[in-house]
């Protein structure tokens, strides 16, 4: 016999699956399977289904999908590289510097509070509008704007020393 919580959970998943897939697709794009993101998020929620109220599940489901998508995006990726094109052309140190910069930026983004990071990733990497981000994160548009502003400000502060060091190194190379 299926208990009431499980019935409400199953109904919520049936009603929201299309929207959850759209959210996952918006966050991960082609970098991961949106179906896998939704499946893992739903599985995680099912495991702990008795902790939640399933009469109003929209926000909970959206949040679970966004969190799972962001977790997947943070995982290191292997890129397919065209053998004839090496980033940086004749200067391998340029490609290394680019990879180092990406590593610093990703590490800084990972240090942001979840809501700042989610809003920033959806804005900068997925190019969603403030209204779409607000709907996805179950927040108001002004709140989303505040989160993105603060995320950018915190990133600038975290990366300030790195970029100042890069300017100094670039100046030294020009002097040589």
pLDDT tens, position by position, 90-100:
456 666 666 77
pLDDT category of residue 85 using cuts at 50, 70 and 90: very low
Judge whether 70 and 106 are in contact, CB under 8 Å.
Answer: no
Closest residue by Cα to residue 49 from 12, 2, 7, 9: 9
168 shares a domain with 97: yes
Return all residues near 151 (Cβ < 8 A) that are at least 6 apart: 112, 116, 117, 119, 120
Q: Give the largest Cα separation in the chain, rounded.
A: 78
State percent of the chain over pLDDT 90: 11
Containing structural domain, residue 163: 92-175
Q: In this predicted structure, which of 6-15, 122-131, 151-160 has the lowest mean pLDDT?
A: 122-131
Mean pLDDT over each residue of the chain, to the nearest integer: 78
For residue 79, being part of any structural domain is answered with no
State percent of the chain over pLDDT 70: 77
CATH number, domain with residue 141:
1.10.10.10
For residue 82, being part of any structural domain is answered with no
- What 3-state class would DSSP assign to 129? coil
- What 3-state class would DSSP assign to 9? helix
pLDDT in tens, 125-153: 767 789 888 887 878 999 999 999 999 99
CA dist 31 and 22 (Å) reads: 14
What's residue 92's pLDDT? 60
Last residue of a domain, one of 18, 46, 74: 74
């Amino acid at each position: 016999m299926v208990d009431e919580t499980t019935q409400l959970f199953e109904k919520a998943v049936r009603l929201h699956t299309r929207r959850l897939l759209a959210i996952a697709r918006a966050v991960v794009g082609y970098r991961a399977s949106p179906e896998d993101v939704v499946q893992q998020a739903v599985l995680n929620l099912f495991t702990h289904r008795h902790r939640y109220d399933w009469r109003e599940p929209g926000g909970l489901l959206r949040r679970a999908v966004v969190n799972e998508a962001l977790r997947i995006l943070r995982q290191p990726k292997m890129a397919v590289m065209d053998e004839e094109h090496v980033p940086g052309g004749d200067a391998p140190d340029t490609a290394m510097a680019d990879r180092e910069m990406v590593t610093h930026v990703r590490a800084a983004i990972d240090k942001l509070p979840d809501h700042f990071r989610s809003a920033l990733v959806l804005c900068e990497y997925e190019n969603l509008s403030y209204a779409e981000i607000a709907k996805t994160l179950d927040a108001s548009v002004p709140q989303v704007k505040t989160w993105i502003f603060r995320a950018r400000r915190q990133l600038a502060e975290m990366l300030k020393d790195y970029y100042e060091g890069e300017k100094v190194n670039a100046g030294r190379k020009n002097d040589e």
